Amino acid sequence: MTREAEIAWLAGIMEGEGSFGAVSRGKSEYAPRVALCMTDRDVVIRAFEIADCGRIYGPYEVLESNVGPGPFKKRYQWIVQGKEAIAFMELVLPYMFERRATKIQEILSVYEELEFRKTLLYKFWSNVVQVDSCWAWQKDKLSLWHETKRSPRLLAFDLCGLERPGRSVRDVCGNSKCVNPMHMEAGNALNRS
Ligand SMILES: [Zn+2]
């Protein structure tokens, strides 16, 4: 089998038997998850080998079923989580039918947005030095403009989840480098009272 045929085969299995989801805890924790649960051990192992990520769990005893009385075959589960799950979803997405594809795209876009926010938080705080209660911005005011289209002061309101007092803000602490939202009021430097 060519690599492409392997991926198409795996996508077909996942279309029928797999599940794509994400566990979210609070606002910042979002854990994408791919799982395949089957009684066919060889198929689960083949899926794991082709994808080359995640882990196989089992065998699990199946004690009850709504299909009918037992005994039941043991089940095996292949689970991929986090970044690897995202990479796997991107890999099989082109082969998926609409319903699954929509679900996968949804997960990918939420994940991407959260990753962007994390990166932005990191960039923001690595440019700030705390001086007393002031947050002194270390770079020029346009340094995160390319990503965010806003000044560091307004960005601080957004990252802290605070409502901006106006379209532009000025400091009340007298520190022209300060970006602490608690030290801001509506207005600009020209009409300082
Ligand atoms: Zn300040």
Q: 10 Å Cβ neighbour count for 111?
A: 19
Give the domain-ending residue among 118, 148, 166. 118
Q: Are residues 35 and 108 in the same domain?
A: yes
> What is the percent of the chain with per-residue pLDDT over 70, rounded to a whole number?
95
Q: 10 Å Cβ neighbour count for 171?
A: 19
pLDDT in tens, 108-152: 999 999 999 999 999 999 999 999 999 999 998 888 998 889 999
Q: How confident is the model at residue 191 (pLDDT cuts 50, 70, 90)?
A: low
Q: Are residues 54 and 147 in the same domain?
A: no
Mean pLDDT across 148-160:
93
Q: Are residues 97 and 163 in the same domain?
A: no
Mean pLDDT across 151-177:
93
Report how far residue 45's alpha carbon sits from residue 31's, in angstroms, rounded to the nearest whole number. Answer: 23
CA of 118 to the centre of ligand 1 (A): 24
More confident residue, 26 or 140: 140
Q: Are residues 32 and 101 in the same domain?
A: yes
Give the domain-ending residue among 73, 96, 118. 118
Q: Are residues 65 and 136 in the same domain?
A: no
User: Does residue 123 sit within a domain?
Assistant: no
What is residue 24's predicted lDDT score, i.e. its pLDDT?
83
Return the structure tokens found at 157.
């309101």
Q: Are residues 85 and 175 in the same domain?
A: no
CATH of the domain at 17: 3.10.28.10
CA of 123 to the centre of ligand 1 (A): 19
Ramachandran angles phi, psi of 94, nearest 5°: -60, -20
Average pLDDT, whole number, for the chain?
A: 91
Q: Are residues 104 and 169 in the same domain?
A: no
Q: Are residues 158 and 84 in the same domain?
A: no
Report how far residue 17's alpha carbon sits from residue 51's, in angstroms, rounded to the nearest whole number. Answer: 15
CA of 108 to the centre of ligand 1 (A): 38
Q: Are residues 145 and 163 in the same domain?
A: yes
- The count of structural domains within the chain is 2
Range of the domain at 165: 128-191
CA dihedral 137, 111, 79, 87 (to 10 degrees): -90
Q: Are residues 105 and 60 in the same domain?
A: yes
CA of 131 to the centre of ligand 1 (A): 8
CA of 171 to the centre of ligand 1 (A): 7
CA of 99 to the centre of ligand 1 (A): 50
The angle, 0 to 180 degrees and rounded to 10, between the axes of the packed helices 82-92 and 3-17 is 110
CA dihedral 96, 99, 105, 108 (to 10 degrees): -90
Q: How confident is the model at residue 193 (pLDDT cuts 50, 70, 90)?
A: very low
Give the domain-ending residue among 118, 140, 173. 118
- pLDDT surpassing 60 at residue 169: yes
Q: Provide the 8-state DSSP code for 183.
A: G
pLDDT in tens, 27-55: 667 899 999 999 999 999 999 999 999 99
